[in-house]
Structure 1
Amino acid sequence: MSSDIKFQQDMPPAGGYKPIDYKRVPAKTFFSGWALIGGYLGMTAGAAYLYYLNCKAVRARELEMRSASLAIYPMLLAERDREYLKQLRRNRDEESSLMANVEGWKTGTWYGEPIYHTAPPNTLINPKYVEYYVHSSFKDFSERANMAWLS
């Protein structure tokens, strides 16, 4: 069966193959090394100038906001302290109205006995956190105590 097929070997073309190129072919240069360094320095200088202008504008805005914040800060502290004292007054008035029918009850004491024996008279005693919000809604207390998920 295989006797019908004639075997033929591949041979090189007539005249041989072309010579193999093995010499280095340098890439085409568009810019010299000095031109690349100069371009890099120019781009860096331009970017630094634009960064400086941006920082200058941001600094001016921050300065204005900081000045406004410093100007309004004492007023905000005074308003906070005023609201704190108003809430203490509301707590005291609420205690007075709740305990109006109890005999021997004096507001700010425990049945006439002072709670703080060592405090001089007319001294502000800061209440505990829960006592401060005792007559407020639970929603207000939970929001202030970072427990908003409970309300």
Structure 2
Amino acid sequence: MATGAAEFKQEMPPPGGYKPIHYQRIPARQYFNGWTLFGGYVVMTAGAAYLYYLNCKVVQQEEIELRSASFAIYPMLLAEKDRAFLKQLRKNRDEETKLMANVEGWKTGTWYGEPIYNTMPKDKLLIPRAQEYYVHASFKDFTTRAYISLLS
């Protein structure tokens, strides 16, 4: 033991001892009973259902209007698509005529005067393959159209 050190003093309990330890269950304070909670649930659900009904009515009317508008405009869009398709076919034909003007015996739409399809009637439109359709366009235009991805 060190010399000159303060005298050791034992810590003791307070006079009269420690307070008793409470170990009994203390129930939580109840603000609502079961029936009040159930009634609140029913009222909230009914209110939410009513608001949902009002919102659905508005959304359904908007959807009906949008669907009607797209049904009304669909034939015009289809006609414009067909018109653009035929315009491009005409451009391709004119480009072929201009490109092969110096080739002797070349007739547009044939292979040196021989029809490409022997069984096709003259007045029937033959839908070309994508490569034939984009033959005079840039390769980028062709790949953009040919490899359309739904993810991008």
Taking structure 1 as the reference length, what is the TM-score of the superposition?
A: 0.81
Tell me the secondary structure at the aligned position of residue 81 of structure 1: helix
Going from structure 1 to structure 2, the CA distance change for 1:10 and 1:131 (only over 3 Å counts) comes to same
* Cα distance in structure 2, aligned partners of 1:99 and 1:22: 104
For this pair of structures, how many residues does the alignment match?
Answer: 147
Query: Mean alpha-carbon deviation: is it higher for 133-142 or for 93-102?
Result: 133-142
* Cα distance in structure 2, aligned partners of 1:144 and 1:22: 78
Counterpart residue identity of residue 48, structure 2: A
Give the alignment of 1:1-151 within 5 angstroms: 1=1, 12-146=13-147
Following superposition, the deviation at residue 34 of structure 1 comes to 1.1
Following superposition, the deviation at residue 16 of structure 1 comes to 4.2
Taking structure 2 as the reference length, what is the TM-score of the superposition?
A: 0.81
CA RMSD, Structure 1 to Structure 2 (Å): 2.4
Going from structure 1 to structure 2, the CA distance change for 1:116 and 1:23 (only over 3 Å counts) comes to same
Following superposition, the deviation at residue 48 of structure 1 comes to 1.7
Counterpart residue identity of residue 53, structure 2: Y
Unpaired runs of 5+ in structure 1? none
Following superposition, the deviation at residue 138 of structure 1 comes to 3.3
Unpaired runs of 5+ in structure 2? none
Kindly provide the CA deviation profile for residues 4-26 of structure 1, in whole angstroms up to 9, marking residues without a partner as x.
98777655555444433333322
* Cα distance in structure 1, aligned partners of 2:121 and 2:101: 26
Going from structure 1 to structure 2, the CA distance change for 1:6 and 1:89 (only over 3 Å counts) comes to closer
